[in-house]
Structure 1
Amino acid sequence: MRKIRYKKGRKVQPSVLEYTGSHKTTPTEIQLFVYNAEDVTEMQQLEVSDVKNVIDIKKVNWLNIHGLNEPEKIAAIGEIFGADNFIIGDILNTTKRTKLEEYHDILFFNVKSLLPIKDTDALGYEQISFMLKDNVLLSFQEKRSDFFTHIRERLRTNSGIVRTKKADYLLYLLLDAIIENFYISIESEEDRVDAIIDLSKTSTKPEVLELIEKHRDNFNFLKRSIIPLRDSLYSIKSMKDDDVFNDIQHENYSFFSRLHQKCLELLEQIESDLITLESASSYFFSSQNHKMNEVMKTLTVVSMFFLPLTFIVGVYGMNFKHFPELEWENGYFIIWGVMLVMVVFMFVYFKLKKWF
């Protein structure tokens, strides 16, 4: 089974824009929502040349890009909003660690979104990047997915307060949807772990230990994905204290604090699940040792029955000419009787001692 870990992509030169992810055949598609409290406009299949003309800076603009396999288009979109090559390179390089950075008047955020792969024990991940500038939020996804479907519906139907808020609140909703995927992944892992724990109590097959180690790797992968996200969300607090980034409204910082709290809860749950797996692993080894001890005890008891019998047989197997018992008419049956009495006596004695 493949070990879950961040893929080590080959090094990309700083001046070269190259997509390093696995979705090499996904074309780049552009979707735009322009909205305020009164109305919403949705545009599909935009061309890069149309983006600048359809952006309405007086409203909130959500530009969502699916597919990163055409770096020249990603670079052209970034150029429209003043993003330099460092930002574009981080969007295209999916091996980068989750981070939050300020580039002049742009807030850049990239994050790993995880979900369990159906009918497998593996976790799939996708890098999603965000750029927040003025009243425009850009999101870059490696492929089409259902992560933000409910948010699009809320925009279309004017559900909740999203249409009354600025782009920073939309960023909060998108990040919250990604964090919800972590909850789904952990819940899926916990269901599988419960089944493994039940299996470990009835089976000592090596496959059980392999499953335990597999899901330990999955939880560690989740942990490695959440920790930098937690740190990035915490760093937003310093923006509030420094009051240097104006695109996040002061009253909306509390929403990002909630996301930070969710990350802490996820990490605590993962630690608890890792402890559970460690207990299952210890139980597995203890069960194996107990089974081996039982086998050794049984073999020892059986060998003890035959030890005195072997001694008697050994004595009468010696090549001496004069054995008094050889002249006895019932000597053969007497020796058998003695041996049977010894076996019965030892059996009763071991049973009273509860040795088996």
Structure 2
Amino acid sequence: MRKIKYKKGKKVQPTFLDYTGVHKQIKTEMQLFVYDTDDLTEYKEFDKSQLDKCFESSKVNWLNIHGLNDTEVIKSVGDFLNVDNFMLGDILNTTKRTKLDEYHDVLFFNIKSLLPVENSDNINVEQVSFLLKNGILVSFQEKRSDYFTHIRERIRTHSGIIRDKKADYLLYLLLDAIMENFYITIENEEDRVEKLIDISKTSTNPEILEQIEKHRDNFNFLKRSIIPLRDSLYSIKSMKDDNVFNAIESDNYSFFSRLHQKCLELLEQIEYDLTSLDSASSFYFSTQNQKLNQVMKTLTVVSVFFMPLTFIVGVYGMNFDNMPELHWKYGYFIIMGFMFLLLLGMIYYFKKKKWY
């Protein structure tokens, strides 16, 4: 059974940027949204040469990057924001766990997006990273996906309060969208486990136990992915208490507290699901033991039925000369009748005692 785990990546030097993920054939593309309450400008095919021209300090600037193969583009964005190489290295190194970093006036957030693989028990993992600085939010995705489609539409249609808020609120929405994938993944796992538990009640196929252990690995992997996210979101709350970071407005800390609460809910649900899997494993072994006990009980009853009959046959198979019964005219029929009556009597007695 293959465990789901982060792939081990090669060590990357701080001054050397190299993408370590699996999506190495995906072209690096960028889209830029520049907006405020009254105005929106969208650049669908943004180029690194436009970095110094299109950003407006008085508005929210959201630069979304798909594909991390072109390290020159990533380096250009880092230079534009004056971001240290160690942050860029964490963006390109997909083996890193979820983390939150603050350095000077830059907030760095790194998160794993998890989604179930269709028609499979495996989980698809993608790293998504964010840089937040002075009204500029840059999101880095390993490949093109539809995680943020609804957020783009809300920006275009001026739906809700997103156009009235700053870049930190946009970061909250993007994180919330990724966390929805956790709910989808857990729900998918729960549906599969529920079916598995139903099957385990009627079948003793050894493959059921293998599937139970597979889903246990999946839930533990989800747990390992959510715990550092919970800790990172708690760190944002600590930033508010310590008043040491100004990238997030004080009114918006409550939104990140909601994400922290969601993490706690997800972890509680995973603990419940792991308990359900433990119960399924115990039920499977109990069913196996019960079946084995029934087989042993049946074999024991049959053995007891034949023990006295075997004794009688053994007695009359000793071939002594002085055995009068051997010379009786009806001796054979008398012994066979006695053995038959003895068998019926034992069956009746066992039945009355409810031993089978």
Match of 2:58 in 1: 58
Give the distance between the partners of 1:336 and 1:11, measured in 2 at CA.
Answer: 85
1:270 aligns to what SS in structure 2? Answer: helix
Partner of 1:154: 154
Q: Alignment partner of 1:89: what SS?
A: helix
Give CA-to-partner distance per residue, 1:122-172, whole Å, 9 cap, x none: 111100000000000000000000100000000000000000000000000
Amino acid at match of 2:252: N
> Which secondary structure state, in structure 2, belongs to the residue aligned with residue 110 of structure 1?
strand
Paired residues for 1:136-147 under 5 Å: 136-147=136-147
Whether 1:4 and 2:7 are equivalent positions in the alignment is: no
CA distance in 2, matches of 1:285, 1:95: 37
CA deviations over 1:279-331 (Å, ceiling 9, x no partner): 01100000000000000000000111111111111111113222111110000
* In 2, Cα distance between equivalents of 1:203 and 1:13: 53
Q: 1:43: which partner in 2? A: 43
Instruction: Report the counterpart of residue 128 of structure 2 in structure 1.
Output: 128
CA distance in 2, matches of 1:190, 1:250: 37
CA distance in 2, matches of 1:15, 1:334: 101
User: Counterparts of 1:311 and 1:160 in 2: how far apart (Å)?
Assistant: 90
Partner of 2:291: 291
CA displacement, residues 255-293 of structure 1 (integer Å, 9 cap, x when unaligned): 000000000000000000100110011000000000000
Residue ranges of structure 1 left out of the alignment (5+ in a row): none
Q: Which amino acid aligns with 1:156?
A: R
Letter in 1 for 2:66: H
- CA drift of 1:13 comes to 2.8
Question: Which letter maps to 2:86?
Answer: F
2:76 is matched with: 76
- Aligned partner of 2:317 in structure 1 is 317
| Cα distance between partner residues in 1 of 2:316 and 2:17 | 91
Deviations 1:12-59 (A, max 9, x none): 233321111110101110110000000111102211111221111110
The amino acid across from 1:171 in the alignment is L
Q: Using the alignment, how far apart are the partners of 1:287 and 1:9 within structure 2?
A: 43
Q: How far did 1:10 drift?
A: 2.5
Q: d(CA) in 2 for partners of 1:328 and 1:30?
A: 107
RMSD after superposition = 0.9
**Equivalent residue for 1:169?**
169
Query: Which residue does the alignment assign to 2:180?
Result: 180
1:312 is paired with a residue whose SS is helix
Query: In structure 2, how many angstroms separate the alpha carbons of the residues matched to 1:27 and 1:212?
Result: 39
Higher mean C-alpha deviation, range 4-13 or range 263-272: 4-13
**Alpha-carbon separation, structure 2, partners of 1:248 and 1:15:** 29
Structure 1 SS opposite 2:126 = strand
Runs of 4 or more consecutive aligned structure 1 residues displaced over 3 Å after TM superposition: none
AA of the residue aligned to 1:40: L
Whole-angstrom distance in 2 between the partners of 1:305 and 1:72: 85
Gaps of 5+ in 2: none
Matches within 5 A, 1:332-347: 332-347=332-347
CA shift, 1:205, in A, is 0.5
The alignment-based identity, stated in percent, is 69
**C-alpha distance in 1 between matches for 2:346 and 2:121:** 52
Residue 28 of structure 1 pairs with residue 28 of structure 2? yes
The worse-fitting range, judged by mean Cα deviation, of 4-13 and 80-89 is: 4-13
**Equivalents in 1 of 2:113, 2:328: separation in Å?**
90
Q: Which amino acid aligns with 1:259?
A: L
One-letter amino acid of the structure 1 residue matched with residue 202 of structure 2: T
Deviations along 1:226-278, whole A, 9 cap, x unmatched?
Answer: 00000000001111012121110000000000000000000000000100110
Aligned ranges 1:195-344 → 2 under 5 Å: 195-344=195-344
Matched residue SS, 1:317: coil
Instruction: Report the counterpart of residue 352 of structure 2 in structure 1.
Output: 352
Q: Secondary structure at the match of 1:263?
A: helix
Partner SS, residue 56 of structure 1: coil
Matched residue type, 1:25 = Q
Task: Give the Cα separation in 2 of the matches to 1:204 and 1:9.
Answer: 40
Q: Hey, what's the Cα distance between the residues in 2 that align with 1:14 and 1:168?
A: 28
Mapped partners of 1:74, 1:353: distance in 2: 81
Tell me the amino acid that sits aligned with residue 181 of structure 2: N
Query: In the alignment, is residue 193 of structure 1 matched against residue 167 of structure 2?
Result: no
Q: Which amino acid aligns with 1:183?
A: Y
Where does residue 19 of structure 1 map in the other structure?
A: 19
Cα deviation, 1:32-88, whole Å, max 9, x if unaligned, reads: 000000011110221111122111111000000000111222112111100111001
- Distance across 2 between alignment mates of 1:33 and 1:196: 46
